[in-house]
Structure 1
Amino acid sequence: MSVCLVIDESSIVAKVAARILTGIDLKTIGAESLAAGARLLAEPSAAAPVLVLVSASLPNTTVDASVRALRADPKTAKAKILVSLVESNLGTMTRAKRAGADGFIFRPFDRASLLDWVAPFVAVAEPAAA
């Protein structure tokens, strides 16, 4: 199973994303900061994520610094990085792209919108029928 790392200051965002992405066979781990995400990935059993969803509004860092830090980490360097935003902000989006972000998602999200944003970056399997 592929892994998605969600880094967001709100643990609820990570929980909702995990519930949605598990349905497409994407194991999701959540962290409330870059440091917490790095600690999770440093565990010997941790697999490198194929996708990272990182909040543009993490405390004590800028979006471009967050993306550069993820690109510098060997475990996340090749992952697709999507920056989550609350609103469209051209300056923030430009800085994130220049730092190495692959795309964006917007919060709040629902199942359909999150899957639509993630689909181009990972192989999305159809959810099993209930």
Structure 2
Amino acid sequence: MTTCLVIDESSIVAKVAARILTGIDLTTVGAESVAGAARLLAEPGAAAPVLVLVSASLQNTTVDASVRALRADPRTAKAKILVSLVESNLGTMTRAKRAGADGFIFRPFDRASLLEWVGPFVQAATPVAA
């Protein structure tokens, strides 16, 4: 089973995403900050995620700093990173893309919209079995 890391200031978002993504065989772990995510991934037996959903509105950081930190960490450097936004904001989206984000999802999301957004990234990131 592959892993998705959800970094969001709301634990409810991580729980809802986990419930939805379990249906497509993604194990989901959640953290409220990039630093918290790094601590989770440093635990023995923690799997490197193939997909990271990171909130654009994390406290005490900017979206581009969050994405750069994820790209700098060897455990998340190759993961597909989707930035979670509440509304379209061209400036935020541009900064996130320049920092290394692969795409975006919009909140609030439901099962259909989340699966539609993450589907192509999960397929692209999942290793093919030999």
Report the count of equivalent residues. 124
What are the within-5 Å matches in structure 2 for residues 1-130 of structure 1?
A: 1-123=1-123
Shift of 1:44: 1.6
Structure 2 Cα separation of the partners of residues 22 and 8 of structure 1: 18
Per-residue CA deviation, residues 25-81 of structure 1 (Å, 9 max, x unaligned), is 000000011111000000120010000000000000000000000000000000000
Structure 1 residue ranges, 4+ long, deviating more than 2 angstroms after superposition? none
Structure 1 Cα separation of the partners of residues 35 and 12 of structure 2: 18
Q: Which residue matches 2:128?
A: none
Tell me the TM-score normalized by structure 2: 0.94
Structure whose residues are more often helix by fraction: 2
Q: What percent identity do the matched residue pairs reach?
A: 89
SS in 1 for 2:48: coil
Residue 73 of structure 1 aligns with an amino acid whose one-letter code is D
User: How large is the RMSD of aligned CA atoms in angstroms?
Assistant: 0.9
Residue 17 of structure 1 aligns with an amino acid whose one-letter code is A
